[in-house]
Every structure is written in structure tokens, then in C-alpha cells.
Structure 1
Amino acid sequence: MSRERRRGALAVARWLARKSIRAVTLLAAVCFLSFLLAKHSPIDPIQAYVGADMLRVSPEQRAQIEAYWGLDEPTHVQFRNWLAALASGDLGTSMIYRQPVADVIGERFANSLALMAAAWAMSGALGFALGVVAAMKRNTWIDRLARWYCYLLVSTPTFWLGLLMLVVFAVWLPWFPIGMGVPAGVLADEVTLGDRIRHLALPAVTLGVIGVANVALHTRQKLIDVLDSDYVLFARARGERGMTLLRRHGLRNIAIPAVTLQFASFSELFGGAVLAEQVFSYPGLGQATVSAGLRGDVPLLLGLVLFSALFVFAGNLIADLLYRIVDPRIREGAGV
């Protein structure tokens, strides 16, 4: 192996080591703070476990339930026990679903992944295309309309747009089902791919439309900066116009911020999915997170928080990797 390759491999190893340390530190802080917030929540986990506000339990029954779930231990002992179980790969058992937390997350993540993937692809493609068109038609009515549309989307709450989608496309125009992930009263073996797509359409469009604005506005501004640069002015003097100019001099430069924004938006995407899944009663991680928080299911809540932190960190890591692949200058400047 040549000296340059060894230096490159060492630089990549150091970069990955720094990212790994950041990930471990982030997860440790998230776990500790989430555990403290959950333990100091005003929600009574015993009553939530029983599942009915009118059903009261005796002191003896409460003591048995607390002993069964380990809630009678001091807070630091509970946290230590949870960390020990986590180190062995056990996320615990959900108090409201009566299933292992890993099984609940795995089942719900499949639904959320389909929803977020569809919304993510839609927002990236539409946002990039809208930003390019707005920049190429700068200061025209097309540009003004695109910017007005983006500013309107930025100020639009996800749950409000979801309710509007339900009213228009599920009530007034009964083109799509009102909610849930599959038709009600249908056996799992009888649910078709078309049924799942119809139930996925409205929440995916809601999330995708909301995510268009940031990508479009950043792509537009970056492309305007590129079009105003000296080398593009020289290219125009040589007779290059339209798509030829964009393909040769614009796409590579505007791809960098677009890629970064798209992968760095995983946290916003996950947060929006929580609201969208509640509005559409979609059985994903967002709905499980709300249920765990409202009913004091500490094991499930901690597992979901841990998984969401890993999900967001993975998106940022992929963005950094693609950033270095797209622009070699970043790789050279960072020593990676």
C-alpha cells in the first residue's frame, strides 16, 4: 500500500472514530435525560398499566405491580438495571403492548419506514426541481409563485395540513381512506399492496409537501449564486444557455447543499411523522411514541428515543459521507 493510501486510510479511521465517540456520547446523554424526564412525569404508570381510569387497584395490588416491573427500586437502580439489560441487547418489555420493546419497534418501524421513505423521496425530488426552476426563472412570476408556495409551506403545521387532506380527499372527495394502515375488518393475509398504498398516500403526501420548502429555497439560492459567478458568465459569453449551462456548471454545485439538507432533515422528518401518524391513525413509530409518553410506558419510550436518536445520527452520518464524495475539496480540507 502506498504512503498516500495509508494516510487516507488513517484519516478515514480517525474520522470514523470521532463520529463513533460522538454517537456514544449522544446516546448516553439522550438515554439519561429521557429516563429522568420519564421518571418525573406526572403520569401514573401503574394506573396506565391497568388501562382504565375508573379501575382502582388496592395498595397490595399496586405493590405487586411495582415489584413486577421494578418500579419499587430507587431511580438510579432502575436506570442501572435498564443499562445492564441494554448492554445485553434487551430493551425490556412494553407495559402497554405486553410485548418486547424490540418487537414493537420492529413492527412499527416497517410502517414508518415506508411512510418516511415515500415522503423523503417526494420532498427531495420536488424541492430540488422547484428550486432549479425558480432560479432559472429568477424574478419572473414563476419564481415569485414558487417562493410564495415555499413560504406558505414553512409556516404550515403538519397536523393542520393533514386534517385538511383528510377533509378534502377522504371526506369531500372519498378517493382515499380516512386513516389507519390497512382496511378495517380485513384479515392480514387478505390485505393487498394496493390497500397499503391507498392508506399510505395521504400521510406520505402530507409529509412530503411540508418538506419541499427547505430544499427548494436552498437550492434556488445556491443556483443563483452559481449563475452569478464569473465562470458561468464566461460560459454564457461562449454561448451556453439553458439546460446545457445547468448540466455543465450548476448541478454539481447545487447537489451538495441539496444532498446535505435532505439527509440532515431526518430529525424533522421523524418529528413530522409523529404528528402525521396521529392525524391519520397510522400505526407507526410516531403513534407508538405518543402512546408510550401519555401512558407512562418507560421501557418503550426509552427504546423509541434511543432508536430515533440512532436514526437521526445515521442520516447526518450519511450526509457527511456523501458531502465528501460529491465535493473532493471537503475531503482534502478535512484530511478525509
Structure 2
Amino acid sequence: MAHLADSSPKVPWFLRFSLVAILKLLLLMLGVSIIVFWLISLSPVDPVQANYGSVAVQNMSPQQRADLGAYWGKDLPIWERYISWFTAFLQGDMGISLRYNAPVSQVIWTKFSNSVLLLATAWILSGVLGFTLGVIAGTKRNKITDRIITTVCYGLASTPTFWLGMLVLIFFAVWLGWFPSGFATPIGVSAADVTIWDSLHHAILPAATLSVVSIANITLHTREKLVDVMDSDYFLYAKARGESKWQAVRRHGLRNIVLPALTLQFASVAEVFGGSILVEQVFSYPGLGQATVTAGLGSDTALLAGISVITAAVVFTGNTIATLLYGVVDPRIRRGQRG
């Protein structure tokens, strides 16, 4: 019997690890959708008035208003309205945007397409620069280079994003005139005539401003991890064997600090998305962040709900990828899964 039990097929550790992570992701998304729908249901916005306008509602008869209220589910229990909305959401029907007069899925796709270049550039730039500056500060600890980097990072971490964006806009766009002062494409140019350079030229300033949101945290975190590694016994032993500081850092330090930095980098997806709302407003960048502000100020509940759920999905996916990468790189997690 023991032989039969031992010979039973075992699920690979990575598959089991991935299934658990994906299941957590799905449960989180379900919880977010419930919370978002519940909060929007508490909004005082009348769905009939929001979709047809106050003037049109005033000119309607009581029977017409009652029929439209029944159509939008005003008299239904909240759980029935949620099931109806969530079922349609899974089928790609997120409703109609009041502000843009278009399907919510179409608006989100268009705005997200505009934001992809900005978000991806800022995310990669913050990770590369943050990790590099953290390694330099850690190897030069307590020296003038370390003090300059840490002082600048503490200053950036406490600087409001919108204020920094306005300074960057005034200096580089208004005074120097090196970059455009806003928008994602040149004014008066058709979409067919917009080149990749035009898109990059308009995205440089907002991407650089947005990357500052995460550079400081990644730099300071990487520096502290590297300092801990350099104080360890195996690092001192490597230097005692004749290795230089940079050789010891390259061989023993980087492999121990890359995982925490990688996890922090994927966790910073939420910060990048949150910062994009303010940055896109400052630079008049027509992306998903600006659409979020428009939906909130314009009582566009359908668009606001769709953006909230989609944004949460992107953020949770980034955290899930970081968890999976931990399992691939860290052997301790693999041993725990096998056990």
C-alpha cells in the first residue's frame, strides 16, 4: 500500500503554485467587483437622469420615468442588479459611457491604448534607474555619492506628483521649449500622419514625471538590501579571498537583491496607475487617468466602474506575476511547494 501511495502521480510544484496564485487573483477580482458595484450603488446619481439628462427627465410622464427606472433596475435588490451587471461585464458589455456616448469597453480600450506607451515607459524607467541608483548608493554607502542619491530620493518621495509635473512642464516645455506642453499627438495632425517619434516626443515629459513616483522607493529599498548583504559573513569572506568590492557585489550581492527589487517593481504598478491620473491631468494627456477624472466629475458611473475593475485586474496581475517569479527564482519556495 505504501508503494502504491508513493507511486501516485504528483502535480508539479509550479503548476500547483500557479493555480493557487491564479485562484487568489480571481477571488480578489470578484471581491473588487462587489465592492465597486456596492459603492457605486450608494451614489446619489439617478441612472435615469444620468443617461437621459435632467431636462429630458423633467419632460417625461410619470409612467415613462417609472418604465425607465424599471429598465435600469432601480427597484431591484442590489444583489440582482450586481448579478445582471457582472454577467454582462464578463460578456464584454460594460454599459454605455455617458460622457463619451460610446460603449465603456470601447472607451477603456481607446484610452488605455493611449496610456500604454506612457505607463510602460515610466514603469521600466523607474525600475532600471531605481535599481541602478540603489546599487550605486549601497556600494558607496556613507560617501558623498550615497548621501546625494539618498537625499534626492527622500526629496522625490515627499514631492507631490502634480507639483513636480507642473515644474517639469514650465521648465522644459515653456521656458526651454524642448518638448510639447501637452497632448499625446501634435495639434492639427491627423492620426494617420502621426509618427512614432511624435508619440515618443509627447510622452517623454509625462513618463519622466510619472517614473519619479517609484524611483525613490526602489532606490532606497535596493540600497538597504545591498547594505545588509555587504555586512553578511559570506560577503566579507568573499572579499577576504581577494575579490574586489564590485566583484563580490556582482557575484553575491545582485542575486540577493534582485528578487526584492523585482517584487517591489511589480508592486509599483499600482503607484504608476495612481500617479497617471494626476500626471495626465497636468500634461493634458488623453489616457486612462484623464478618463477616470472625467468619469468621476461627470457622474459617469458605468465608465468609472469599468475603469476601476480593469485597473484592479492589471494591478493584481502584476502582483501575481511577482509571486510566480518568486517561486521560479527562490529555491526555498520550490522546496516548500514540494513539501
Same fold by TM-score greater than 0.5: yes
RMSD over aligned Cα atoms = 2.5
Code of the aligned partner of 1:268: E
Whole-angstrom CA distance in 1 between matches of 2:155 and 2:49: 43
2:238 to 227, 235, 238: 235
Whole-angstrom CA distance in 2 between matches of 1:287 and 1:302: 15
Alignment of 1:78-117 (within 5 A): 78-117=81-120
Code of the aligned partner of 1:227: M
1:275 to 271, 274, 278: 278
Pair 1:126-2:129 in alignment: yes
Shift of 1:139: 0.5
CA distance 1:177–1:135, change in 2 (3 Å):
same
Deviations 1:5-46 (A, max 9, x none): 95351x334333322332222122211221222232245556
Alignment of 1:15-30 (within 5 A): 15-30=17-32
Whole-angstrom CA distance in 1 between matches of 2:225 and 2:311: 30
Q: Is the 8 A contact 1:45 1:295 kept in 2?
A: no
Alignment of 1:164-203 (within 5 A): 164-203=167-206
Code of the aligned partner of 1:36: W
2:226 to 223, 226, 250: 223
Counterpart in the other structure of 1:58 = 58
CA distance 1:56–1:163, change in 2 (3 Å):
farther
Shift of 1:243: 2.3
Deviations 1:124-147 (A, max 9, x none): 111111111111111111111111
Give 5+ residue unaligned stretches, structure 1.
none
CA distance 1:119–1:229, change in 2 (3 Å):
same
Deviations 1:313-333 (A, max 9, x none): 110111112122222222223
Whole-angstrom CA distance in 1 between matches of 2:99 and 2:336: 51
Code of the aligned partner of 1:164: L
Code of the aligned partner of 2:221: H
Pair 1:154-2:161 in alignment: no
- The total of aligned residue pairs comes to 331
Whole-angstrom CA distance in 2 between matches of 1:131 and 1:292: 38
CA distance 1:170–1:78, change in 2 (3 Å):
same
CA distance 1:6–1:180, change in 2 (3 Å):
farther
Q: Is the 8 A contact 2:239 2:245 kept in 1?
A: no
Whole-angstrom CA distance in 1 between matches of 2:74 and 2:92: 23
Whole-angstrom CA distance in 1 between matches of 2:259 and 2:308: 30
Counterpart in the other structure of 2:3 = none
CA distance 1:146–1:171, change in 2 (3 Å):
same
1:214 to 214, 217, 241: 217
Code of the aligned partner of 1:31: S
Partner SS for 1:41: coil
Shift of 1:64: 8.5
Percent same amino acid at aligned positions? 48
Taking structure 2 as the reference length, the TM-score comes to 0.89
Deviations 1:227-285 (A, max 9, x none): 11111111111111132122111111111111110011111111111111111111111
Taking structure 1 as the reference length, the TM-score comes to 0.90
Give 5+ residue unaligned stretches, structure 2.
1-5
CA distance 1:136–1:63, change in 2 (3 Å):
same
Q: Is the 8 A contact 1:252 1:326 kept in 2?
A: no
